[in-house]
Amino acid sequence: MSERILIIEDEEKIARFIELELVHEGYEIQKSFNGREGLEMVENGHFDLVLLDIMLPELNGLEVLRRIRKTSQIPVIMLTARDAVMDKVSGLDMGADDYITKPFAIEELLARIRVALKRKHSVPPDTHNNTLTTGNLTLDKDSHQVSYDGQPIELTHREFILLEVLLENRSIVLSRDTLLEKVWGFDYMGETNVVDVYIHYLRNKIDDRFGEKIIETVRGVGYIVK
Ligand code: CA
């Protein structure tokens, strides 16, 4: 069965162009030209991936993303305008899997779609123990919740994945490149210090708040959770 992609993009020409290319690649496509309707389609349809424009009528793309992430981990690739750095950062913070800047080459979009779908399918099947821990810190993969000594910690989608990778590789030093690949995808083309930025976010929310050093820096190498 072909994979289903929803395009939420109000510029109808762009939406049709993407649709034609994706249909040609064998994907099944639906389109929405406004944020509110698009969100409803995500909630009611069975899509494998969403392409989400940011500047949308009725409900902007970031708000659509925020609402999608309340209930779903479906891969979302944001379509952003050139130089809209804040949109990219906000989008990734709110759980977008990737973004692509308009105008883009269709080959690049296709590559990003393949990576996002592959990542989705590589999620391991449920096992009996889907909890990762270190000391008082617990990460539950099923409920997507993190807590310290029973106190819930609110993490963004990306922070969650970063912590998950660190905990899955406990006692192993992970280089920035490894983390970049595992958390952002090997073809990530954004800022390379994004790993340090997100480690900083995690430390703010966990180490600083609870007064315990959980994520350690291995100078010149990377990061480790012991
Ligand atoms: Ca738009």
- 48-86: per-residue pLDDT in tens? 999 999 999 999 999 999 999 988 889 999 998 766 667
Ligand 1 center to 42 CA (angstroms): 18
Ligand 1 center to 188 CA (angstroms): 23
Ligand 1 center to 34 CA (angstroms): 9
Ligand 1 center to 54 CA (angstroms): 6
Ligand 1 center to 115 CA (angstroms): 24
Rg (CA), the chain: 18
CA 180 to CA 171: how far, in whole Å? 18
Cα–Cα distances in angstroms (integers) from residue 145 to residues 129, 161, 186, in the given order: 14, 11, 26
Residue 91 has pLDDT above 90, yes or no: no
The backbone torsions φ and ψ at residue 78, rounded to the nearest 5 degrees and listed phi first, read -85, 140
The backbone torsions φ and ψ at residue 100, rounded to the nearest 5 degrees and listed phi first, read -140, 140
CA 201 to CA 147: how far, in whole Å? 16
CA 16 to CA 9: how far, in whole Å? 9
| Cis upstream peptide for 124 (omega within 30°) | no
Which pLDDT belongs to residue 99? 87
Residue 124 has pLDDT above 70, yes or no: no
Ligand 1 center to 141 CA (angstroms): 34
Ligand 1 center to 35 CA (angstroms): 10
Read off the DSSP letter of residue 176. H
- Report the DSSP beta bridge partners of residue 146: 139, 153
CA 52 to CA 28: how far, in whole Å? 16
Ligand 1 center to 8 CA (angstroms): 9
Ligand 1 center to 207 CA (angstroms): 40
Ligand 1 center to 183 CA (angstroms): 28
Ligand 1 center to 60 CA (angstroms): 9
Across 88-103, average pLDDT:
83
Across 178-186, average pLDDT:
83
How many C-beta atoms surround the C-beta of residue 171 within 10 A?
A: 8
Q: pLDDT tens digits, residue range 26-55?
A: 999 999 999 999 999 999 888 999 999 999
Which pLDDT belongs to residue 191? 72
Ligand 1 center to 61 CA (angstroms): 9
Structure tokens at 47: 């899509």
Identify whether the C-beta of residue 151 lies closer than 8 Å to the C-beta of residue 133. Answer: no
